[in-house]
């Protein structure tokens, strides 16, 4: 069972001409989302059996559909192509010529994919792949909150899950039968809420099954069913190490492209600044010309042919390790494939081909549940797929100020008496949007990793400030002219009906 989780935090800054953090979305579209579409289409066109479960987060779906971001992406893509031509001339007689040519070819293919359209083309492409049988699409919570942190706040917890399900259904036209628990962050009793909201299956980390409250002895991989009826699939540890391990994982092969050696840091600032999204200063351009090489500081030129050859051997090793193992659930962030690991889509294509040759069947969660057979009944242990296996990535001295403030704001929201009228309903909906954005798991994760820390802190404090600004006006029964309009323009995340609707209850169907 190959499972990919596609998610990025909601980053949209209409108040700025350009914002560097918006390029996270743009580069992921170029490096990951479009190459994955190409990969799955190619396999289907060649009648190679392919079946992958793909989670699309609500924030990602909203950004794909956003006209402002779509317009900015087209500008970004054209800027990338211009930079590519500049680098072609700069390196035409150097050992880096093949690396530049390869990336220009990739950009050309992406440009042809979009044609006269923009990011809004992505969802129809994935829906087509679902219709053709390559994918089973599902979703996650509204702003990717780390759910164990909200276990003591049932209203916020329900809202995160229910809004995510509503948004997914609006965008895709069908409900999500499964649910990606953000960061695989499970806590005891979460399955009851998932069952109440009509979720049939989800995923947990291996140790959540190994340490489950059940006399049944099972491996960390495989499947089990909670007393609520929700089926849980456990992340396989061996396939996780093969791909995720920084030291021994497949992406660490010396012939692969080095993500961190970007041309934006290699060339004179004056030469690359006109092509950077979001202003001056060194930054990522997306052009990486070196291969990983080894443990030293020197890096050799990237050779795309040698790198492609390496994916074949690694795919063969991956498939060989799966033989006679029963159900193996391999969970990965989708953005790993193409963005962080440039060769990832090639490796994924090769894996699907090797599985077919080896007679190993790829299944989706829905496929698995249609096959009869008893499952052990248990309550999974709490945990996550973060470092250490529990919640330390999202609650530690670098970020432990966030959770108390977000939960305090949630309690204020619960006690709020909102005056009647459409304008106050608008204000309440925007307050909920701001609070959900403040509670995203992305911000504490960045603070833990020491990446984009200023931006992450600004986002949390900014959303909380917006929340309390709206709350004070709602409580006073007086809305400041223009204030709500500005916030709605800045963060128009989800409809008022989606964020304010009462949670629905679903039957066993």
Q: CATH 3.20.110.10 region(s) of the chain?
A: 2-255+302-369
CA-based torsion, 294, 260, 305, 83: positive or negative: negative
What is the percentage of the chain residues whose pLDDT exceeds 90? Answer: 87
Q: CA 141, CA 159: separation in Å to the nearest integer?
A: 9
Give me the CATH code for the 2-255+302-369 domain, please: 3.20.110.10
Q: Mean pLDDT per segment of 10 residues, for the chain of length 509 residues?
A: 98 96 97 98 97 98 98 97 96 95 97 98 98 98 98 95 98 98 96 97 93 63 90 94 86 94 91 86 91 81 97 96 92 96 98 94 95 86 92 96 97 94 96 98 96 96 98 96 96 95 44
305-328 burial code (b ≥16 CB/10 A, e <16): eebeebbbebbbebbeebeeeeeb
Cα–chain-centroid distance for residue 424? 33
Look at residue 244 in the predicted model and tell me its pLDDT: 86
* Phi-psi sector, 326: left (phi>0), alpha (psi -120 to 50), beta: left
Mean pLDDT of the chain: 93
Which residues have C-beta within 8 Å of that of residue 448, sequence separation ≥ 6?
A: 393, 394, 396, 398, 399
Q: Residue 282: its pLDDT value, please?
A: 85
Where are the CATH 1.20.1430.10 domain residues in the chain? 402-500
Strands 231-234 and 222-225: antiparallel
Compute the distance between CA of residue 353 and CA of residue 403 in angstroms, rounded to an integer. Answer: 45
What's the CATH number of domain 402-500, 1.20.1430.10, 1.10.3720.10, 3.90.199.10, 1.25.40.10? 1.20.1430.10
Angle at alpha carbon of residue 244, lines to 53 and 121, rounded to 5° = 40
- Distance, in Å, from the CA atom of 172 to the CA atom of 142, rounded to the nearest integer, reads 15
């Amino acid at each position: 069972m190959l499972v990919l989780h596609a998610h990025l935090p909601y980053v949209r800054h209409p108040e700025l001409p350009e914002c560097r953090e918006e390029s996270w979305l743009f580069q992921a579209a170029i490096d990951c989302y479009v190459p994955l579409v190409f990969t799955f289409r190619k396999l289907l066109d060649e009648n190679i059996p392919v079946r992958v479960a793909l989670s699309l987060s609500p924030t990602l779906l909203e950004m794909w559909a956003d006209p402002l971001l779509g317009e900015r992406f087209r500008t970004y893509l054209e800027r990338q192509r211009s930079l590519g031509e500049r680098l072609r001339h700069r390196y035409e007689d150097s050992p880096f010529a093949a690396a530049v040519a390869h990336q220009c070819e990739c950009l050309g293919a992406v440009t042809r994919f979009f044609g006269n359209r923009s990011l809004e083309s992505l969802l129809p492409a994935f829906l087509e792949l679902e219709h053709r049988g390559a994918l089973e699409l599902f979703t996650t919570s509204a702003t990717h909150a780390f759910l164990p942190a909200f276990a003591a706040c049932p209203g916020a917890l329900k809202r995160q899950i229910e809004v995510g399900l509503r948004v997914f259904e609006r965008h895709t036209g069908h409900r999500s039968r499964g649910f990606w628990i953000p960061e695989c962050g499970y806590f005891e009793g979460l399955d009851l809420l998932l069952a109440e909201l009509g979720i049939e299956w989800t995923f947990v980390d291996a140790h959540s099954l190994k340490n489950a409250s059940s006399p049944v002895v099972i491996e960390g991989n495989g499947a089990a069913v909670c007393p609520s009826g929700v089926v849980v699939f456990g992340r396989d540890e061996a396939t996780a190490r093969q791909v995720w391990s920084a030291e021994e994982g497949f992406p660490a092969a010396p012939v692969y492209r080095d993500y961190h050696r970007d041309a934006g840091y290699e060339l004179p600032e004056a030469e690359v600044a006109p092509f950077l999204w979001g202003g001056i200063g060194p930054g990522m351009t997306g052009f990486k010309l070196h291969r990983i090489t080894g443990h030293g500081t020197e890096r050799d030129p990237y050779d795309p042919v040698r790198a492609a050859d390496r994916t074949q051997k690694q795919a063969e090793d991956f498939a060989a390790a799966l033989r006679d193992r029963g159900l193996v659930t391999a969970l990965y962030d989708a953005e790993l494939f193409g963005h962080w690991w440039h060769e990832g889509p090639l490796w994924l294509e090769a894996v699907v081909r090797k599985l077919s040759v080896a007679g190993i069947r790829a299944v989706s969660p829905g496929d698995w549940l249609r096959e009869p057979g008893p499952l052990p009944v248990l309550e999974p242990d709490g945990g996550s797929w973060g470092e250490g296996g529990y919640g330390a990535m999202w609650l530690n001295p670098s970020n432990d100020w966030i959770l108390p403030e977000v939960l305090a704001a949630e309690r204020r929201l619960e006690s709020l008496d909102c005056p009647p009228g459409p304008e106050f309903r608008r204000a309440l909906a925007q307050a909920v949007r701001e609070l959900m954005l403040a509670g995203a798991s992305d911000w504490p994760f960045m603070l833990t990793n020491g990446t984009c820390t200023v931006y992450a802190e600004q986002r949390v404090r900014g959303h909380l400030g917006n929340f309390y600004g709206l709350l004070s006006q709602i409580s006073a029964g007086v809305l400041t002219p223009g204030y709500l309009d500005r916030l709605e323009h800045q963060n128009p995340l989800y409809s008022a009906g989606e964020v304010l609707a009462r949670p629905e209850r679903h039957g066993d169907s």
